[in-house]
Structure 1
Amino acid sequence: MGLISEVLLLPFAPVRGSAWAIRQVVQEAERIYYDPATIRAELGRLEEQLEAGEITEEEFDGLEDDLLDRLEIASRRSAGTGNGTTP
């Protein structure tokens, strides 16, 4: 039965391969997005922008809140599995 289903599903192989590739890209993007080191670096750049007068205090507060939320999610993800792969 396995051989027959593989032959019948062969025309869909490019779609299955594309779906796998998309899942891999999304997983890597999420890993980078929720990486605590990346978030801390972004917080540092944000503070530099504030000190340089490139952004206002209100903009800083909003962006900082977003980054701190991401950092909280990142710590929950890593605490839940040890590798940060699930929310």
Structure 2
Amino acid sequence: MGLIGEVLMLPFAPVRGGLWAVSQVLAEAERLYYDPATVRAELALLEQRLESGEIGEEEFDRQEDELLDRLEIGLRAGAGTDNGTTR
């Protein structure tokens, strides 16, 4: 973009900065959502809830399937900063 374009777009700089910030927050939230260490911790918590009787077998199976899907996506995408190892 040339100098004239930059001058014309100057009033929109706060909007562009805001959009950048929102995209950064979303990217970090997605990274954490698919992080294998996070998903494994949630799987462990889910198992504790089953053992304590807080949830039934059917609910456990449903939530476990969702978490395993997230884990697979995270491992495939390499979303974890620790390459799938536990912390």
Indicate the structure with greater helix content: 1
Check whether TM > 0.5: yes
Q: Structure 1 unaligned segments of length 5 or more: list them.
A: none
C-alpha distance in structure 2 between counterparts of 1:23 and 1:17, whole Å: 10
Q: TM-score, normalised by structure 1?
A: 0.86
Instruction: Provide runs of 4+ in structure 1 moved above 4 Å.
Output: none
Alpha-carbon RMSD: 1.7
Q: Secondary structure at the match of 2:78?
A: helix
Q: CA deviation at 1:75?
A: 1.2
Q: Structure 2 unaligned segments of length 5 or more: list them.
A: none
Where in structure 2 are the equivalents of 1:1-16 lying within 5 Å?
2-16=2-16
Where in structure 2 are the equivalents of 1:20-31 lying within 5 Å?
20-31=20-31
Q: Number of aligned pairs? A: 80
Work out which structure has the larger RCO, using CA pairs closer than 8 Å and 6 or more positions apart in sequence.
2
Matched, 1:44 2:39: no
